[in-house]
Amino acid sequence: MNFNTDIFEQFDKKWALLTAGTADNFNSMTISWGGLGTIWNKPVATVYVRKSRYTKEFMDTNEFFTVSFYPEEMKNIIGVYGSKSGRDIDKMHYEGLTSKAVGESVSFEEAMVTLLCRKLFVQRLDEANMLGNIADTFYGDGDSHFMYIGEVFEIL
Ligand SMILES: Cc1cc2nc3c(=O)[nH]c(=O)nc-3n(C[C@H](O)[C@H](O)[C@H](O)COP(=O)(O)O)c2cc1C
């Protein structure tokens, strides 16, 4: 399946769910920072996850993750995944989203498009390398972002 989109709008305005784990033990969170591109001769998706996120634990212990996109009318449900932690609510069985196994990872029946990604690279974004006022603006609390680059293995 092809995925044609305005990538700037897709993350920033329409948001996505980032999911990692297995069908019986996974977590998802809303993301609006991310990108699609090419590196190491592979099509890749890049996502940025702060170290405080429960989802990060699943990103670090699983080889695959998914990035999934939803119709506009589901934005309120997608927003819940970005305002509550899987440490506090059961995101595996939340009303309005039906999980499904996708390869070795997980997405939801309601997704318009799911990118199944195989992790290639992880690195903390070092505040010392940030130019201008980025570090002060975004990392005053020390909650660093980790960049995950995943090969887009399949588009569903
Ligand atoms: C619109 C929106 C976009 C977000 N984008 C990101 C993001 O790109 N990276 C990130 O670390 N957190 C992002 N968040 C915050 C997480 O989704 C939020 O902290 C979530 O509750 C984490 O859930 P978890 O603890 O179950 O992983 C975003 C939240 C919203 C509402």
User: What token pair was written down for 83?
Assistant: 């305002």
Residue 1 counted as domain residue: no
Q: Is 85 in the pocket of ligand 1 (CB under 6 A)?
A: yes
Give the count of domains, the chain: 1
What is the predicted pLDDT for the residue at 1? 58
For residue 41, report the distance from its CA to the centre of ligand 1, in Å.
29
Domain extent, residue 57, equals 7-155
Q: What is the CATH number of the domain that holds 23?
A: 2.30.110.10
Q: Is 119 in the pocket of ligand 1 (CB under 6 A)?
A: no
CA 119 to chain centre: 12
What is the predicted pLDDT for the residue at 3? 83
Residue 35 counted as domain residue: yes
For residue 29, report the distance from its CA to the centre of ligand 1, in Å.
5
Residue 2 counted as domain residue: no
Question: Which segments in the chain show pLDDT lower than 70?
Answer: 1
| pTM of the shown model | 0.97
User: What token pair was written down for 75?
Assistant: 């934005």
Q: Is 84 in the pocket of ligand 1 (CB under 6 A)?
A: yes
- One DSSP character per residue, the chain reads ------HHHHHHTT-EEEEEEETTEEEEEEE--EEEEEETTEEEEEEEEETT-HHHHHHHH-SEEEEEE--GGGHHHHHHHHHS-TTTS-GGG-TT--EEEETTEEEETT-SEEEEEEEEEEEE--GGG--TTHHHHH-TT---EEEEEEEEEEE-
Residue 43 counted as domain residue: yes
Task: Express each pLDDT in 23-51 by its tens digit.
Answer: 999 999 999 999 999 999 999 999 999 99
Q: Is 42 in the pocket of ligand 1 (CB under 6 A)?
A: no
